[in-house]
Amino acid sequence: MTRTLHPLLYLLAQATEKDLVMHIEYLKAENRILRSKLPKRITVTTAERARLVKLGVRLGSAIKELISIVHPRTFARWASGNTTKNKLRKPGRPRKPEEIRQLILQMAKDNAWGSKRILGELKKLRIRDISRSTIARILKDNGFEPAPKRGDGTWRDFVQRHIRTLWACDFFTIKVWTARGLVEYYVLFFIHIESRCVHVAGMTANPNGFWMAQQARNLCMFFQDQGERRPTHIIRDRDTKFTSQFCDILATEDIEFRKIPPRSPDLNPFAEAWVQRIKHECLNHFTVFGERHLRYLIREWVDYYHRFRPHQGLGNVLITSPLPSPEPLSNFRSEKLVCHEQLGGLLKHYERKAA
């Protein structure tokens, strides 16, 4: 079967020696231009390398003037059949020892250090054969910021740093039927972030400065009895009901208020979530008649919340009572259960009958 010759081969077949030299010079110039457009390093397959060796060994030493895809010494190693070097490691610099990489990550995790600080620490340990850019790359590859933290950190960092002595406060409102008609009541509460314990400070239809000052004085006595949970910081919004007098009275107990930015309820999530729970699980199911009725509903709910309601944020355990020891499923008997109800059956919890 007749095969059509490549136009270049046909041209070379008819060319004189002088023409061949000019052809080769042109092809070399064109090859240099094309090579300048490509990455500095080109990886060839085993088949491509074999083809280059087959054609190149015929040229002898002249290959040094023609070859540009690799260094002539590399081609000589290919021609000799020595490809061990390529099998030893991947292209690029060798990877730093895994033990050094883990040490860098541990320093970043334990101390929130950046690449420059870690570099200094490694020098103290006489580990010198590593650069700052390498440390930064290791940190980035594992999800750490290579630059050191500045300022006070994030809001989450603040919460975690003070969680044992951090409280949050807020108001929620509810409509109450009174002798004067429908009145909006304001309920002031505080929640301890770590334990989720809640203290309802008071409720009123007129939260003026005098009432807020009295609540602050009552809170000073309440917080003195909290032991290790005594607050050092309290998160609040920018509600004008939190008067300067209210804050100054609590400041005498070395309590600092942290105000969240305007229209940022997501920065006070524990208080917001508690309001949603008490309304959704309790108050929205009742028409409230008078302040006494409101106090009763909130008191019953808070008692249920602390003693009987499991909390997902705490691993589905109770706030004030430890869970009993687990038993095998084979020991379970439904007749041993008893259901307790509060608020006319709205709030329920289950216990095993006493032996």
275 against 335, higher pLDDT: 275
Which segment of 150-164, 186-200, 222-236, 258-272 scores lowest on mean pLDDT?
A: 150-164
Least confident of 30-44, 104-118, 248-262: 30-44
Least trusted range by pLDDT, from 26-40, 80-94, 142-156, 260-274: 80-94
Query: Is 106 strand, coil or helix?
Result: helix
Tokens of 307: 């003693």
Task: Give the residue-averaged pLDDT of 84-108.
Answer: 73
User: How many whole angstroms separate alpha carbon 49 and alpha carbon 82?
Assistant: 12
Q: What are phi and psi of 54, to 5 degrees?
A: -60, -40
Return the structure tokens found at 282.
Answer: 């309790």
Residue 75: closest CA among 61, 87, 93, 88: 61
87, pLDDT greater than 70: no
For the chain, give the percent of residues with pLDDT over 70. Answer: 84
The pTM of this model reads 0.59
Q: Is the pLDDT of residue 1 over 50?
A: no
Is there a contact between 268 and 260 (Cβ–Cβ < 8 Å)?
Answer: yes
Mean pLDDT, the chain, rounded, equals 83
127-151 in b/e form (b: 16+ CB < 10 A) is eeebeeebbbebbeeeebebeeeee
Residue 329 is predicted with a pLDDT of 65
More confident residue, 140 or 60: 140
Query: Where is average pLDDT lowest: 17-21, 42-46, 257-261, 323-327?
Result: 323-327
Cβ burial of 350 (10 Å; 0-12, 13-18, 19+) is exposed
Q: Which of 88-97, 141-150, 207-216, 305-314 has the highest mean pLDDT?
A: 207-216
Q: CA-to-CA distance for 315 and 115, rounded, in angstroms?
A: 36
User: Backbone phi, then psi, for 253, in 5-degree steps?
Assistant: -100, 20
